[in-house]
Amino acid sequence: MHQFFFHIGQYVDLLKKTLSKPEKAIVYYRRTLKEIEVLGLNSVGLIVLVSLFSGAVLALQLAINMSNPLLPKFLIGLGTRDSMLLEFSSTIMAIILAGKIGSHISSEIGSMRVTEQIDSLEMMGINAAGYLILPKLIAILLILPLLCIISSFVGIVGGLLVGPFTGTMRVSDYMDGITYLFNPYYITFSVIKTIFFAFMIATIPSYYGYHVEGGALEVGKAGTKSVVTTIIMILVFDLILAQILLK
C-alpha cells in the first residue's frame, strides 16, 4: 500500500511538471506535430486493418447465431453497429494502442533517462517533463478520438462486406440494422471514453520511462510494466465510465 501511494504521488508530481507553462510555445508546437505523425498517423493502418476484420468477424458470428428464421436479420447490423460504437472502437482499440504507443513512449523516455539526456535538459534549465511528455499528450488526445471514429466506420463497413461475400445476410437487412433506433449519443460516449484512455496511454508509460533506473534491461521492464498498468487502468475506467455515462 505504501508503494501504491508513493507511485501516485510521483505520478501527480510529474503531471504538474508536464502541464506547466511551456518555455517556448513554437518548439512545443513543432514537437506536437511530429508526435501526431509518429504516434497517431503511423497507427492508422493498424487500426483500419484490425477494425475491418473485427467488424466482419463480429457480423459473421452474429449471423450464424441468429440463423433462426424467427429472428429478424436486421439485428445483425444493429448488433455490429452498437458493439463497434460502445466497446470495440474505444476500449479494444485503446488496449491495442496501449501496447503499440505505450511501449514506444516508455522506451523512448526511459532510454533518455538512462543515457542522462534528461539530466542534461534539466541542467540547461529546461522543463524536461513538459518538453518530452506534453507534446505526446496533446498529440494523443487529438488523434485518438479521430482513430476511434475511423475504427467505428471501418468496422461497420467490414460487417457490410462480409454479408454478401459469405451469403449469410442481405445488404438491405444489414443497412436496416445500422439505421434502426440509432442513438447519436453512442458516438459521444465512445469519444469521451477515448479521451480518458488517451490521457492514460500518454501519461502512464511516460511516468514509467521518466523514473526508470538502471540500464537497457530496466528500460525493457519499465515498458512491460507501463503497458500492463495502462491496460488495467483502461479496463477499470471503462467500467466506471459505462456506469456513469450510460445511466
Tens digits of per-residue pLDDT, 191-247? 999 999 999 999 999 999 988 887 778 888 888 899 999 999 999 999 999 889 876
Out of 25-39, 156-170, 208-222, least confident range: 156-170
Q: Picking from 88-102, 107-121, 147-161, 162-176, which range would have the lowest pLDDT averaged per residue?
A: 162-176
Q: Which three cell numbers stand for residue 232?
A: 488495467
Q: What is the DSSP letter of 42?
A: G
Burial grade of 174 (CB within 10 A; 0-12, 13-18, 19 or more): buried
pLDDT for the residue 229: 93
Number of Cβ atoms within 10 Å of the Cβ of 45: 9
- What 26-33 contacts at long range (C-beta under 8 Å, 24+ apart), as own/partner pairs, is 27/131, 28/130, 28/131, 28/134, 28/135, 31/131, 31/135, 32/135, 32/138, 32/139
Confidence of residue 26 (pLDDT cuts 50, 70, 90): confident
pLDDT of residue 216: 77
pTM: 0.90
pLDDT in tens, 39-96: 888 889 999 999 999 988 888 888 887 777 777 778 888 888 888 998 888 898 999 9
What local confidence, expressed as pLDDT, does residue 1 receive?
Answer: 65
In the chain, where are the structural domains located? 23-245
Question: What value does the mean pLDDT of the chain take?
Answer: 87
Compute the distance between CA of residue 126 and CA of residue 15 in angstroms, rounded to an integer.
16
